[in-house]
Amino acid sequence: MGDFWVFGYGSLIWRPGFAHVETQRARLHGYRRSLCVYSFVHRGTRERPGLVLGLDRGGSCIGLAFRVPGGLRDEVIAYLRERELVTNVYLERMLKIRLDGGGTVDAVAYIVDRQHEQYAGALDAADAAAVVRGAVGQSGNNEDYVLSTLEHLKALGIRDHWLEDVARQVAPL
């Protein structure tokens, strides 16, 4: 089986955790990066949820595409499912992405399930910041997740004005 692509838009950008042979900036149309998922495990608890990113309908999202050797397909898909489908708030999909290097490829992506209890919907920046502030889960505190994601996006030249607004309210300069 041939190589395949994985689309990262949040923590996969800065901590993919799987072997890959190529990384390119890419754009996914029809979905946007959003702090729209209440985190009960990684960045919060059921009693004190945090917020993590999801791909929600509408707009577009610039992220990273990782090309994975076909021989690692089973191993990488198993890893991604263990990581992304802990509470089944995401749906695994094959979606078309446009690579900055040219061309369109199908990529594994995880979109938010709007019917899931953890779907937070479209929060304004102040409400999102209020949820993020002080939340802690198995993978650490929620502020670090937001700030690290933003730092890595900036390093790649990717602007996300809404996420920047949330970060300013979480950790004012």
Give the catalytic positions in this structure. Answer: 84
| Nearest CA among 26, 35, 12 for reference residue 107 | 26
For residue 72, how many other CB atoms are within 10 A of its CB? Answer: 16
Sequence-separated (6 or more) residues with CB below 8 Å from residue 108 = 4, 5, 6, 7, 77, 80, 92, 93, 94
Separation of first and last alpha carbons in the chain: 49
